[in-house]
């Protein structure tokens, strides 16, 4: 048990600490930025679905269970709309959604940066 306490103490003292500065903002600010970015991506997907005429909507809970990255759309289609895979190639659907999402996200980012100035 003393070994575990010693290891814990060594681990704790070895962790770096950072003061909140311009280079290192407070962790809460970083988390809020990440959450806002994730929300912007979710909204961009929903806009892409509308643009493509898909009656899909990802709420926060749905977005949270989907994997990050390129597998996100594929996982959703396979789980929620597998019937589409009989008519469309999975890669075609994923690529169409991702391209539309990137366009929507770019527009949203542009609006966000305009409001920031």
The pLDDT, as a whole number, for residue 36 is 62
The pLDDT, as a whole number, for residue 54 is 96
d(CA 91, CA 76): 13
d(CA 57, CA 46): 6
The pLDDT, as a whole number, for residue 74 is 97
H or E stretch including 80? Answer: helix 71-80
User: Mind listing the pLDDT tens digit for each residue in 48-98?
Assistant: 999 999 999 999 999 999 998 879 999 999 999 999 999 999 999 999 999
Length, in residues, of the chain:
117
The residue with greater pLDDT, 116 or 88, is 88
The pLDDT, as a whole number, for residue 4 is 47
């Amino acid at each position: 048990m003393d070994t575990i306490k010693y290891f814990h103490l060594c681990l704790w003292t070895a962790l770096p600490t950072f003061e909140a500065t311009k280079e290192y903002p407070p962790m809460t600010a970083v988390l809020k930025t990440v959450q806002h970015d994730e929300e912007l991506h979710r909204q961009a997907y929903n806009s892409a679905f509308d643009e493509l005429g898909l009656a899909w909507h990802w709420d926060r809970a749905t977005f949270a269970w989907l994997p990050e990255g390129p597998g996100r759309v594929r996982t959703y289609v396979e789980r929620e709309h597998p019937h589409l895979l009989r008519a469309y190639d999975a890669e075609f659907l994923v690529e169409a959604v991702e391209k539309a999402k990137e366009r929507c996200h770019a527009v949203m980012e542009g609006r966000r940066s305009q409001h920031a100035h």
